[in-house]
Amino acid sequence: MNIFVTGSAGFIGFHLCRKLLSQGHNIVSVDNINDYYNTDLKLARLEILEDEKNFKFDQMDISDYEKLATFFKENDFDIIIHLAAQAGVRYSIQKPFAYVESNLIGQMNMLECIRNFKPNLKNFIYASSSSVYGNSSTAPFSENQKTDEPISLYAATKKSGELLTHSYSHLYNITATGLRFFTVYGEYGRPDMAYFSFTKDIMEGKPIKIFNSGNLQRDFTYIDDIVDGVIKIATTEPKHKNKVYNIGNNSPVELKYFVEVLENEIGKKAITEMLPMQAGDVYRTYADISEIKKDYNFEPKTKIESGVKMFVKWYKDFYG
Ligand SMILES: NC(=O)c1ccc[n+]([C@@H]2O[C@H](COP(=O)([O-])OP(=O)(O)OC[C@H]3O[C@@H](n4cnc5c(N)ncnc54)[C@H](O)[C@@H]3O)[C@@H](O)[C@H]2O)c1
């Protein structure tokens, strides 16, 4: 297949492209390589992808409609996997407009370009987030429940992305599949996420910041499981015109236990600094994955202990 991936220098985009390329698909891709986190890591990911002859990359900001429109006109692709976004809950307090540009204008530009230049696109697969569930007291979180009480701007922009897509799907007959990712972790991961900074700090003997006394739960989902799920969706005839799925591990882990697993793997005790709950953070995430299981036979396979083992091994190799 010919696939357009946005955010290919990002964590999930990189792994997804790598797997798709190994399966013989052709990829055209964009990323603006912004400096939200260390760009060396983004460039290192790209360097690996650029070794493959059927990988094409353009450095571009999807909030620039004219450039994106030119890209759409000049490239052929059957499906889009749209991952480019301003991620992170805490940063949305410092830099709110980064979220408006990448997640609202960016999503809107993608939809307009599909409408104008690729009306026969097979599937517009795009990233949403578990954060749309806010502090819902009903768990596991199912796609049928209400998601109109986001507690961070990040979540609000992700939910808005789903709504913009819903209206465009309805108006212009665009086939779209939204994926609510649940705390994805693994090799080449995001340095802004807790599992990554905890690893760094434990290794360097620095204190790790534990919010809400570690009484938080996250449905950590290993990157290879996410990639397998996204590829199943990308390579299967869509089951619905417009649908949003949870894609998570269905097995939440207490933060306290997560730190223990990390300590065991690193072979060193963490120094902890206890802090109150952070603005915008949710108490728990827990994916009900029955819908994606039913439609795509999605089955996460990686237990937290083995996922962390692979991550820590990579971290040691990569950073010496
Ligand atoms: N990793 C997770 O746990 C998680 C959880 C929920 C949702 N998501 C979503 O999944 C997607 C991928 O996340 P990730 O973890 O790989 O994040 P990431 O930050 O590593 O990747 C996103 C990439 O998009 C690029 N980008 C941002 N704004 C852009 C713009 N305006 N134009 C072009 N490129 C732009 C960034 O440079 C980055 O390389 C995002 O949409 C994110 O919101 C991720």
Is 154 an annotated catalytic residue?
yes
Distance 125 CA to ligand 1 centre (A): 14
Q: Which two tokens stand for residue 5?
A: 């991936």
Q: What CATH number does the domain located at 2-183+221-248+287-300 have? A: 3.40.50.720
Distance 164 CA to ligand 1 centre (A): 18
Amino acid 174 reads: I
Say what the alpha-carbon torsion angle 34, 38, 43, 45 is, to the nearest 10 degrees: -110
Predicted pLDDT of residue 85: 98
Q: Which ligand 1 atom is the nearest neighbour of the CA of 101?
A: 31
List C-alpha distances in Å: 271 to 11, 256, 268. 27, 13, 10
Nearest partner of 289 among 171, 132, 181, 196, judged by Cα:
181
Supply the residue whose CA is at minimum distance from atom 1 of ligand 1. 184
- Probe target for ligand 1 pocket from 4, 5, 8, 12, with the most ligand atoms within 8 Å of CB: 12
> Distance between CA 130 and CA 159 in Å, rounded?
10
Supply the residue whose CA is at minimum distance from atom 27 of ligand 1. 85
Interval 112-166: pLDDT, tens: 999 999 999 999 999 999 999 999 999 999 999 999 999 999 999 999 999 999 9
DSSP one-letter code for 102? I
Query: Quick check: helix, strand or coil at residue 82?
Result: strand
Amino acid 180 reads: R
Give, for 184, the enclosing helix (H) or strand (E): strand 184-185
* pLDDT tens digits in sequence order for the chain, 320 residues long: 999 999 999 999 999 999 999 999 999 999 999 999 999 999 999 999 999 999 999 999 999 999 999 999 999 999 999 999 999 998 999 999 999 999 999 999 999 999 999 999 999 999 999 999 999 999 999 999 999 999 999 999 999 999 999 999 999 999 999 999 999 999 999 999 999 999 999 999 999 999 998 899 999 999 999 999 999 999 999 999 999 999 999 999 999 999 999 999 999 999 999 999 988 989 999 999 999 999 999 999 999 999 999 999 999 999 98
- Probe target for ligand 1 pocket from 5, 6, 32, 227, with the most ligand atoms within 8 Å of CB: 32
Q: Which two tokens stand for residue 67?
A: 């450039």
Supply the residue whose CA is at minimum distance from atom 39 of ligand 1. 10
Mean pLDDT of the chain: 97
Measuring from each residue's beta carbon to the nearest atom of ligand 1, which residues come in under 6 Å? 7, 9-13, 30-34, 42, 61-63, 83-87, 102, 106, 127, 129, 181, 183-184, 190
Q: Which two tokens stand for residue 21?
A: 């390329």
Sequence-separated (6 or more) residues with CB below 8 Å from residue 267: none
> Distance between CA 143 and CA 30 in Å, rounded?
29
Interval 53-72: pLDDT, tens: 999 999 999 999 999 999 99
- Probe target for ligand 1 pocket from 61, 95, 129, 221, with the most ligand atoms within 8 Å of CB: 129
> Distance between CA 51 and CA 36 in Å, rounded?
25
Nearest partner of 274 among 219, 217, 207, 183, judged by Cα:
207
Predicted pLDDT of residue 213: 87
